[in-house]
């Protein structure tokens, strides 16, 4: 660890001075990939040729189509309809199920995003293998017990799918996008405990030349549009890996549940959910820049307002959600306490405003701390005086001054919907 600490402070070492920011990293690697200066491991030559032949946009569109559930069900935990809305291999949290909950999203209602299905792994035989040109020695293995014996750290952070809110591109903006039609429930905040990736990299013998790490899941290969894209994987720069990335084995004080990556997953705070690879099996540590289909094809903003090769997704945008059913019915003339939560990938939430008429905005009252990597809980008292259809709006401003806009910039894969969501409710006479 001493070596790493010194290195982290070394201004001469270029890899430590940048690229912890997702956008900067992704831009750099995309340019290197196009110039033939980055490698894409994990695909056969044939697969690679087909990938190239298929073309970015067409492949991306095909690849993000909702998956089909197998008979047994790809997700292990129960998905009661009052807690989840299920889309193929994915399930989103119903926001009304967060009402009355504490700061954290309980495991029984945390969203699941599986490209294929949840593998059920045995911690006793599980191994994490680190290998590659960025290590001094050959492959280095860690058992579950090895990781448990290393110093641990805890972080409270949200994991959010970059496509969270995607359905509102269509329902609010009339735009066609590909991918799972999430409302706002593809996000959850948990308390993650595990070993810093920095600790494990130091034990494995990281060289000064290492630039990227490529964590890979043990779930089945992802096959889409007739192309096997291999294991779910997405590179990270060593700088980010050393900064705040966790190899998590606990979620909210319990061993990681199967659907959330048992025995060990990555938690990459403030980066898009795809970076937090579940069911870790191998981590390539490379002295060469790396890419994967999850950086070249997916997680790029494509469409008329973007260059042909697309631009990378940025940090998660500012969002707000009401802890109410979609189309909830509320009693006329009665005082309601509307509750909700707001969060941002740029840092903590500074202010939340609510509008019940679409014209006037009033401050909501914070009822939790606003954590940098978590969310802010808030409430707003409301007494609707007349019966009818209403549209509730909440908009948050984060610490960087970014406030949720009325319209989200269109991109074909429907990433980063950060606009104010119009939540319909009916106010009716009480019984």
Ligand X SMILES: Nc1nc2c(c(=O)[nH]1)N[C@H]1C(S)=C(S)[C@@H](COP(=O)(O)O)O[C@H]1N2
Binding site for Mo ion (CB under 5 A): 113, 161, 273-274
Distance CA 335, CA 235 (A): 50
- Establish if 276 lies at the interface with ligand X (CB under 6 A): yes
Q: Which of the stretches 3-11, 270-278, 350-358, 384-392 binds ligand X when contact is defined by CB under 6 A? A: 270-278
- Establish if 373 lies at the interface with ligand X (CB under 6 A): no
Question: What is the strand order of the sheet 365-366 is part of?
Answer: 319-322, 336-343, 375-382, 365-366
- Min dist. Cβ of residue 75 to ligand X (A): 9
Count of residues interacting with ligand X (CB under 6 A): 18
Which one of Mo ion, ligand X, none interacts with residue 111, CB within 5 to 8 A by kind?
Answer: ligand X
Which one of Mo ion, ligand X, none interacts with residue 185, CB within 5 to 8 A by kind?
Answer: none
At 195, list the tokens: 């070993």
Which one of ligand X, Mo ion, none interacts with residue 112, CB within 5 to 8 A by kind?
Answer: ligand X
- Establish if 185 lies at the interface with ligand X (CB under 6 A): no
Which one of Mo ion, ligand X, none interacts with residue 330, CB within 5 to 8 A by kind?
Answer: none
Cis amide bond preceding 263, omega within 30:
yes
Residue for token pair 């630039």: 211
- Establish if 279 lies at the interface with ligand X (CB under 6 A): yes
Residues 87-116 that bind ligand X (CB under 6 A): 110-115
Which one of ligand X, Mo ion, none interacts with residue 276, CB within 5 to 8 A by kind?
Answer: ligand X
- Establish if 204 lies at the interface with ligand X (CB under 6 A): no
Closest to Mo ion by CB, 274 or 285: 274
- Min dist. Cβ of residue 216 to ligand X (A): 8
- Establish if 354 lies at the interface with ligand X (CB under 6 A): no
- Establish if 60 lies at the interface with ligand X (CB under 6 A): no
The residues near 24 (Cβ < 8 Å, ≥ 6 apart) are 18
Q: Which of the stretches 144-152, 271-279, 340-348, 373-381 binds ligand X when contact is defined by CB under 6 A? A: 271-279
- Min dist. Cβ of residue 307 to ligand X (A): 24
- Establish if 260 lies at the interface with ligand X (CB under 6 A): yes
- Establish if 196 lies at the interface with ligand X (CB under 6 A): no
Closest to ligand X by CB, 182 or 378: 182
User: Closest residue to ligand X, Cβ-based?
Assistant: 217
Distance CA 66, CA 178 (A): 9
Residues 286-315 that bind ligand X (CB under 6 A): none
Which one of Mo ion, ligand X, none interacts with residue 279, CB within 5 to 8 A by kind?
Answer: ligand X
Distance CA 14, CA 33 (A): 19
- Establish if 284 lies at the interface with ligand X (CB under 6 A): no
Residues near ligand X, by CB under 6 A: 110-115, 159, 161, 217, 219, 232, 260, 273-274, 276-279
């Amino acid at each position: 660890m001493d070596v790493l600490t010194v290195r982290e402070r070394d201004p001469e070492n270029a890899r430590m001075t940048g690229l912890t920011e997702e956008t900067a990293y992704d831009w750099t690697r995309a340019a290197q990939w196009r110039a033939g200066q980055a490698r894409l491991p994990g695909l056969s030559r044939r697969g690679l040729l087909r990938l190239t032949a298929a073309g970015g946009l067409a492949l991306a569109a095909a690849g993000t189509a909702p998956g089909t559930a197998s008979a047994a069900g790809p997700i292990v935990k129960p998905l009661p309809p009052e807690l989840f809305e299920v889309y193929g291999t994915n399930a989103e949290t119903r926001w009304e199920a967060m009402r009355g909950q504490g700061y954290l999203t309980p495991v029984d209602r945390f969203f699941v995003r599986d490209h294929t299905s949840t593998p059920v792994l045995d911690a006793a035989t599980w191994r994490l293998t680190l290998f590659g040109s960025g290590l001094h020695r050959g492959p280095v293995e860690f058992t579950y017990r090895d990781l448990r014996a290393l110093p641990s750290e805890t972080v409270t952070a949200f994991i959010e799918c970059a496509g969270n809110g995607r359905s509102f591109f269509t329902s609010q903006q009339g735009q066609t996008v590909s991918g799972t039609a999430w409302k706002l429930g593809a996000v959850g905040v948990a308390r993650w405990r595990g070993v810093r990736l920095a600790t494990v990299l130091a034990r494995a013998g990281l060289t000064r030349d290492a630039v990227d790490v490529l964590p890979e899941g043990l779930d089945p290969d992802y096959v889409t549009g007739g192309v096997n894209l291999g294991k779910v994987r997405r590179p990270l720069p060593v700088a980010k890996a050393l900064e705040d990335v966790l190899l998590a084995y606990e979620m909210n004080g319990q061993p990681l549940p199967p659907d959330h990556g048992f025995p060990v997953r990555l938690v990459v705070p403030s980066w898009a959910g795809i970076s937090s690879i579940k069911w870790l099996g191998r981590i390539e540590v490379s002295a060469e820049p790396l890419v994967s289909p999850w950086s070249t094809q997916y997680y790029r903003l494509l469409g008329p307002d973007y260059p042909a090769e697309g631009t990378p997704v940025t940090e998660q945008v500012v969002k707000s959600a009401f802890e109410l059913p979609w189309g909830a019915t509320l009693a006329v003339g009665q005082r309601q306490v509307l509750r909700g939560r707001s969060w941002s990938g740029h840092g903590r939430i500074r202010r939340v405003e609510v509008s019940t008429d679409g014209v006037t905005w009033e401050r909501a009252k914070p009822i939790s701390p606003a954590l940098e990597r978590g969310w802010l809980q808030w409430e707003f008292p409301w007494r609707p005086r007349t019966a009818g259809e209403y549209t509730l709006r909440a908009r948050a401003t984060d610490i960087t001054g970014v406030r949720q806009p009325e319209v989200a910039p269109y991109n074909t894969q429907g990433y980063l919907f950060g606009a104010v969501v119009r939540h319909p409710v009916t106010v009716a006479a009480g019984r």
